[in-house]
């Protein structure tokens, strides 16, 4: 790292760079890069025993607000709805057993009357745990996912911190921009791959009869004219 930074021996002996500082920068750059996009590398799963309550519960430790994509309870999938719609629906339908949930900041809410029980499982995006600065064998979330290209972005971001410490702000900005460009390139590649996913038995929209207000499934029935 110091060679990449073009660091002189004076800078290390004078304490401009220390092992502790380099490990701190590694931790910072790791968290920054992991949160730059919703990477597959930081998709996670967490489970616990479900307990119905009208009060909001904290999201699993390490998971970001608005990052939970799917919740299942006892194998039954719940539908995620906007928080205000969630409150209004329960207010208008106090006894509904609809399998719905929402979140607000670090809290999640599940309809207490939902006909579910068992283990609750969360699928979402998590923030990597703090880097153990005493363990030199640790790998990044990108290494574990096989995205070695993204690790180069971490190096560039660390170099950005280093140049800023030397008060070489222009060079620092260049390294940061390099890190952004690398991560953007990796993200674009991932998005291209994700286009291969084909929804199974699910339409993106239901067609609506603008005159009657009914969905197409209600309008057209097989053999209706016989």
- Please count the CA atoms within 13 angstroms of the CA of 78 that sit on its side-chain side: 33
Task: Examine the domain organization and report whether 52 and 76 are in the same domain.
Answer: yes
Give the CA distances from residue 195 to residues 70, 148, 171, 192, in Å, rounded to whole numbers and listed in that order.
20, 22, 37, 6
Give the CA distances from residue 34 to residues 128, 147, 153, in Å, rounded to whole numbers and listed in that order.
7, 12, 11
Does the global pTM surpass 0.85?
no
Instruction: Examine residue 202 and state whether it is found in any structural domain, yes or no.
Output: no
Task: Examine the domain organization and report whether 118 and 65 are in the same domain.
Answer: yes
Dump pLDDT digits (tens) for 154-191.
Answer: 999 999 999 999 999 999 999 999 999 999 999 999 88
CA distance 182 to 189: 11
Nearest to 173 by CA among 162, 186, 188: 162
Task: Examine the domain organization and report whether 112 and 138 are in the same domain.
Answer: no
Instruction: Examine residue 108 and state whether it is found in any structural domain, yes or no.
Output: yes
- In the prediction, which pLDDT does 32 show? 93
- In the prediction, which pLDDT does 75 show? 94
CA distance 149 to 136: 20
Dump pLDDT digits (tens) for 34-67.
Answer: 989 889 888 999 999 999 888 899 999 888 888 8
Instruction: Examine residue 82 and state whether it is found in any structural domain, yes or no.
Output: yes
Q: Are 111 and 97 within 8 A, CB to CB?
A: yes
Task: Examine the domain organization and report whether 109 and 49 are in the same domain.
Answer: yes
CA 76 and chain centroid, separation: 22
Instruction: Examine residue 50 and state whether it is found in any structural domain, yes or no.
Output: yes
126 CB neighbour count, 10 Å cutoff: 20
- In the prediction, which pLDDT does 191 show? 85
Q: Is the pLDDT of residue 82 over 90?
A: yes
- In the prediction, which pLDDT does 18 show? 85
Residue with tokens 């931790």: 27
Task: Examine the domain organization and report whether 122 and 181 are in the same domain.
Answer: no
Instruction: Examine residue 208 and state whether it is found in any structural domain, yes or no.
Output: no
Task: Examine the domain organization and report whether 109 and 48 are in the same domain.
Answer: yes
Residues 6+ apart with CB under 8 A from 76: 99, 115, 116
Instruction: Examine residue 110 and state whether it is found in any structural domain, yes or no.
Output: yes
Instruction: Examine residue 168 and state whether it is found in any structural domain, yes or no.
Output: yes
Task: Examine the domain organization and report whether 81 and 59 are in the same domain.
Answer: yes
Nearest to 12 by CA among 20, 2, 4: 2
Domain region containing 89: 43-126
Task: Examine the domain organization and report whether 48 and 120 are in the same domain.
Answer: yes
Task: Examine the domain organization and report whether 47 and 101 are in the same domain.
Answer: yes
Domain boundary among 76, 92, 126: 126
Domain boundary among 110, 126, 142: 126
Q: Is the pLDDT of residue 120 over 80?
A: yes
């Amino acid at each position: 790292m110091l060679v990449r930074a073009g660091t002189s021996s004076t800078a290390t002996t004078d304490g401009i760079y220390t092992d502790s500082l380099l490990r701190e920068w590694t931790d910072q750059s790791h968290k920054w890069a992991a949160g730059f996009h919703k990477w597959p590398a930081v998709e996670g799963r967490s489970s616990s025993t479900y307990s119905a309550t009208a009060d909001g519960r904290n999201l699993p430790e390490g998971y970001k607000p608005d990052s939970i994509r799917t919740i299942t309870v006892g194998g039954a999938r719940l539908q995620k709805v906007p928080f205000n719609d969630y409150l209004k629906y329960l207010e208008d339908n106090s006894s509904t057993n609809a399998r719905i949930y929402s979140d607000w900041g670090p809290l999640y809410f599940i309809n207490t009357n939902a006909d579910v029980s068992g283990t609750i499982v969360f699928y979402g995006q998590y923030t990597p745990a703090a880097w153990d600065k005493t363990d030199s064998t640790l790998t990044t979330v990108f290494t574990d996912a096989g995205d070695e290209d993204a690790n180069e972005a971490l190096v560039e971001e660390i170099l950005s911190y280093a140049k800023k410490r030397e008060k070489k702000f222009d060079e620092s900005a260049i390294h940061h921009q390099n890190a952004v460009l690398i991560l953007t390139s990796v993200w674009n590649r991932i998005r291209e791959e994700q286009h291969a996913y084909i929804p199974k038995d699910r339409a993106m929209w239901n067609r609506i009869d603008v005159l009657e207000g009914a969905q197409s499934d209600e309008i057209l029935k097989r053999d209706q004219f016989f």
